[in-house]
Amino acid sequence: MLSYRHAFHAGNHADVLKHAVAVQLLNHLGKKDKAFWYIDTHAGAGAYALREGYATKNAEYDTGIGKLWGRTDLPEMLSEYVDEVSALNPDGHLRFYPGSPYLAWRLMREQDRMRLFEMHSTEIDVLRHRFRDAGRRVMIYPGDGFEGVKALLPPPPRRALVLIDPSFEDKRDYSRTIKCLEESLERFATGTYAVWYPQVTRPESQRFPDQLKRIQEKSWLHVSLSVSHPPKDGFGLFGSGMFILNPPYTLAAQLKETMPFLVKALGIDDGAQFKIESRGD
């Protein structure tokens, strides 16, 4: 929805899961010399101030990155993620939080390319300013990423990570995500696709993981993190999930090491839990 601003939620527990996974996916693509593309259907502003503006309204980062900041006992996967956040806060004080485009830019190499979609007029202006010196390595498109991504597939190097993470404030985003994945796979079956989704009490969210599993019989991984029981009043985010099509073979083992730690670190009540499911080739 055009009213949505991710800055309200920057750095919360859902961002921790999403971005810790994204860092691993990008690192894996970067292990081969051949170029890759990073494509983001809902890019947002790229990075966010935590101590001013929208992020201060509910200080949601206190439920996420704030609980990991400064710790020295992080599992490797979380340590690599926090290192990337630290790069935006070189003085050691947590003031800024990187969105997915910033993380991708940090982990890209000279031969790699980034393609970003954003509909919100204010967000895209910030995004353009942030990457104003990037040249053709970064292309930013105003408009609907669900539709626009198809024109970019398959990318020239035939290697890419496509991140699909709408706000899901509009319940049509669930069906549109499914359709986008199905049509994208027809064009580029070997790409890595990562879908973030919220855990909320609405029925569309509850059935979404099973719908994603039916898109592709094999080669998928699903991880979810609940930080509490579902709220009794039915409102609010109590967890999130990441569903990856064509995941790297190393990711499941990394998550098995990491998720118990995240439950303890970010859990709010005894409803905190994680789930990992996968189907290999």
Q: Which residues are catalytic?
A: 165
Burial bucket for residue 128 (CB in 10 Å: 0-12, 13-18, 19+): middle
Residue 156 tokens read as 């020239």
| CB-based contact 127:90 (threshold 8 Å) | no
CA distances from 197 to 64, 100, 116 (A): 16, 15, 19
Q: What is the end-to-end Cα distance of the chain in Å, rounded?
A: 36
What's the CA gap between 83 and 42, in Å, rounded? 24
208-213 contact pairs (CB < 8 A, 24+): 208/174, 209/241, 209/243, 211/174, 211/178, 212/178, 212/181, 212/243, 213/277, 213/279
What's the CA gap between 51 and 49, in Å, rounded? 6
Amino acid identity for residue 253 in this structure: A
Q: How many helices (H) and strands (E) does the chain have?
A: 9, 10
